[in-house]
Chains A and B, each alone.
Chain A
Amino acid sequence: MIKFLAHFFIPQISNNYRSKILHPKILSIFIIFFFLSGFLIYFVKNNYPQVLGISSDISIEQLLILTNQKRQENGLSPLKLDSQLMQAAMGKGSDMFSKNYWAHISPDGTTPWVFIKNAGYGYVYAGENLARGYSNSEDVVNAWMNSPSHRDNVLSSKYEDVGFAVVSGNLTGEETVLVIEMFGATRLAGEPSIASEETSSEIAVITPTPVSLVGGISPIPTAAPSLIPTPTPVNNQVARQVLTRNSNFQIEPIVNGAVFSKDLTRSITSVFIFVLILDMVIIERKKILRFVGHNLDHVLFMGLILGAIFIIMKGSVI
């Protein structure tokens, strides 16, 4: 066994001083394997999604916990899950899939604020964070925290409520999972609770409506919110219904195709990098003259493949 492995990975007399894995025949086997596996994975994914498909482990509960955790770490009060903002987030997600776009403003000019208003949320402040291509809630929240404009939304003291939607579908020809986070507040920052009669009369004279900017987009002017804003208590029952519907958005496959292809390719690429470096070092030490390509080229090339996998498989936020 050790002899076989050495023959495969270490340059020696048995493999003509070139690791067997780097011989044209073995390289060809790997090439055929990846091409055939690509077709196979595509076939199984489309015909047996319960066996091999794309899934993500993003839940609204986790998004809320992580968002509030970040806020509390920064001395801010936690956000409340709001059913109307959840509805707005769902509306935005459905709109992106139906109109096939990935942006804050739809191709026909619909802004996020329209969905919030249509859901019946009388906002004074509102904001929106979007994410796609992430496989778990932690990565989504971390990606938002690493982007200054999204971080500003997560850590804004103006917001009181939040709504999430996790929606999957085909966007611009690609199966993907979108995460929509809508922030809102129904009263001005720093104002005491709107439950107070006196405060309500004070708010009534405050115009115009300040609206927060999200990722550089200019919010459209909106009609003044209700002058005596009505608080939007979280209706746990409604929130839970939306949450459950969103969480069970797809069949959970036995094997996640995206993770499987990424992990397998990364592992094999790493093995090639290791063997190429080992081959280079041993041949240099033994001072053996060979007519082969530069191993360092191939090491850099494999580095490119690893970098490309990381970039391609990484999600994005706007």
Chain B
Amino acid sequence: MIEKFIKHFNYYVSLVSIFIVGLAAAVIASPNFSLQIFIVILTIVIYVLWGILHHYITHELTAKIMVEYILIGLLGLSMIFFIFMGGRV
């Protein structure tokens, strides 16, 4: 597990950076609900594309892995959609 982490260290650093930038942008966009949702959706799309691209670069990309990233991304999107429709106080 640690070996794998070290092997893909740069990828994980970039991923965490993307997430931090996305969350920081969502904080700055407050209290604009629609803009916050848009920023989170954009971060999700970048996550999926970056995950697939990383596996492509490391020659590990298979159709199964691609579907997995798309489905995990869609799961995140559906959750954010659900939150958006539920509204907030």
Contact surface of A with B, Cβ cutoff 8 Å: 24, 27-28, 30-35, 37-39, 41-42, 45, 54-56, 102, 132-135, 172-177, 257-258, 260-262, 264-265, 268-269, 272, 280-281, 284, 291-294, 296-298, 300-305, 307-309, 311-316
Contacts and interface: CB of A to CB of B under 8 A. Distances in A.
A167 to B, nearest CB: 13
B64 A265 contact: no
Main secondary structure of the interface of A (DSSP, over half): helix
In the complex, which of the residues A291, A308, A315 has the most CB atoms of chain B within 10 Å of its own CB atom? A308
A261 B85 contact: yes
A27 B75 contact: yes
A262 B51 contact: no
A312 B26 contact: yes
A265 B19 contact: no
Interface in B54-83: 55, 60, 62, 64-65, 67-69, 71-76, 78-83
Contacts of B47: 297, 301, 304
A258 B78 contact: no
B27 interface: yes
Given A34-B75, A34-B82, A296-B5, A257 B87 contact: yes
* Interchain residue pairs A-B with the least CB separation, the first 10: A261-B86, A34-B78, A38-B85, A42-B85, A316-B31, A27-B71, A38-B82, A308-B40, A34-B82, A304-B19
A31 B64 contact: no
Given A27-B72, A177-B89, 6 more contacts: A32-B78, A172-B32, A300-B16, A304-B23, A305-B80, A312-B36
Contacts of A315: 31, 89
A34 B75 CA distance: 8
A135 B31 CA distance: 15
Given A308-B23, A312-B40, A54 B89 contact: yes
B81 A54 contact: no
Contacts of B55: 293
Interface of B: 1, 4-5, 8, 12, 15-16, 19, 22-23, 26-27, 30-34, 36-37, 40, 43-44, 47, 51, 55, 60, 62, 64-65, 67-69, 71-76, 78-89
A157 B86 CA distance: 41
Contacts of B44: 301, 304
In the complex, which of the residues B1, B36, B44, B68 has the most CB atoms of chain A within 10 Å of its own CB atom? B68
A298 to B, nearest CB: 5
A134 B34 contact: no
B26 A308 contact: yes
A291 B65 CA distance: 7
Given A293-B55, A308-B26, A313 B15 contact: no
B65 A175 contact: no
Contacts of A307: 19, 23
B88 A176 contact: yes
Contact of B33 (A268, A281, A312): A312
B82 A304 contact: no
A102 B29 CA distance: 13
A31 B65 contact: no
B81 A38 contact: yes
A297 B15 contact: yes
Contact of B67 (A24, A134, A294, A298): A24
A280 to B, nearest CB: 7
Nearest to A264: B82
